[in-house]
Chain A
Amino acid sequence: MKAGKLVLFFVAGGLFGMGLAISGMTDPGRVIGFLDVFGVWDPALLFVMAGAVGLYGLGMLILRRFENRTLRLPSTAPSPIDHNLVIGSAIFGVGWGLGGFCPGPSLANLGALRIEALLFVPAMAIGMLLAQRFFGADR
C-alpha cells in the first residue's frame, strides 16, 4: 500500500480518536451516566451516536454514487441475525455496562496511558482470541 494512503488511514483514525475524546466518550463516567437510565440520566452519548450515524449514513449515500472498481464500499448484502450475533451482542453489553468502556474509547485511552485502559485492552484481546478459538472468526 502506498505511503500516502497510509497517512490517510492514520488521519482517519486520529479524527475518530479526537471525536471520541472531545465528545466526552472516553470518560467512563459519561458512558455509564448514559446507561443509567433509571438514575441521573446523561443523554450525551445518544447525541454523539445520532450525529455519527447521520453523517456516516449521508456520506455512504453520496459515496455509493461513485462506487467503482477503485472505490469499494462496505457490502450492503444482508447478514443473518443468528445465535452468534444475539449472544455476542448481549455479552458485549454486559461488559460495556460493567466497565463503561467499549473498544474504540478503550484504545483512545491508551493515548493517556491510563491504568484502566492498560488493563482493559489486553483483557479484551484475550476475550477476542477466545471467541475466535472456539467460535471461529466468520463475522
Chain B
Amino acid sequence: MIEVKNLTKQYGHHTAINDLNFSIDAGEIVGFLGPNGAGKTTTMNIMTGFIAATRGDVTINGLDIIAEPEEAKKQIGYLPDTPPVYGDMRVDEYLSFVADIKGVKRTGRKEMLTDIKQKLHIDDVSRRLIKNLSRGYRQRVGLAQAMVGRPRVIIMDEPTIGLDPKQIIEMREVVKGLGRYHTVILSSHIMQEVSAVCDRVMIINKGRIVAQGTPESLSHSLNKSAGKIQIRVKADATQVREALKEFTVIRHINVLESREAGTIDIELAGDEGVDIREPIFRCFAKNNLPLLLMKSMDLSLEEIFLTLTGDLRTQAMGYESPEEEVMQNDSDL
C-alpha cells in the first residue's frame, strides 16, 4: 500500500530524516513513536506531498507522490499537528469545501458527510463557527476533513495532542474504527496511545527507525528483565528468606521497599525458561505467608522507548507536557 524507500530530508546541513525505509500494508494501523524533533512530522509531510524529500521515493498504492501528485494525493487524508481549519467557516461549510477541493462526487456526498460527522460526534456542532469550537472539537473536525472522500490512507500527526482524557479515549476508539476501512498512520510521543491502537510501531529517533514491530513483540524482544517477577507478601524479610531457602530454581532475590504496612515487596528471577509462578505460590502457602500480589515485570513500551532513544536529555524533551497552543481567532480585517 505504502512504500517508502531511502527517504532523506536535509534542511541545509541539518538532516531531519536519514535514509528511511519501510512499507505498510493495506488496513494496518501503524504508529510512529519518537521524541519531539525525531523526524515524525517531516516524514508525514513528505508522505502527503506537502514538502519534497531531498532523496528517496514515496509511493501510495503504486502512485509516486512526486510524479503523479494529483492521483496520489486523492488516496490520502491528512490531519497535520495543527488542524487545518478555517475559523470563519461553519463546520458544514468547511467539510463541503474540503469535499470540493478533493473532487468528491456530488452524488452521495451528503450521506458521506453525515456519516463522518456521526462517527466523530460532531453532528451537533454542524452549524457552529469553527473558531468558537473547543480544541477537542476542532481536532475532530480536522479528522473529519481527513476522512472526507474516503481516502485509502489516513495520516495523523499527533492526533490526541491537547485533548482531555475522555476525548483521548474517544479518539482512540475512532482510530481503531478507521482501521477497518483505511490504512492508518499516526504519530505520537505518548506510548500508551500507540500501544493501545496500533498493529505495528516504528520507533523513530534522530531521523532513523531504531526499532519496529508489534507493541508486544517490541516489549518482548527488548525485555532485558525477562522472567522477573514482583511479589508482595504479608511477612518480613527474614521470614521470606527463610521460606525461599529451600527453593533452588530461584536465581536472584531482591528485596524492594515496603509499599503497604506489614508487607514486603520482592523481585524474583528464576532460571531461564522456568516458570516460577506456581512454585512460588506453593512455597508461600506451605509457610503460611499470604501472597498479596504477583506480577511479571515486562518492560513497558515507555522503558523500551527510553532505552532505544538513549540520553536523558531526549527523554526530558520528549516528555514535556504538550502545551496547548492558543489559536488566534480570525479577527484580522
**Bound pair: A and B?**
no
A contacts, CB < 8 Å to B: none
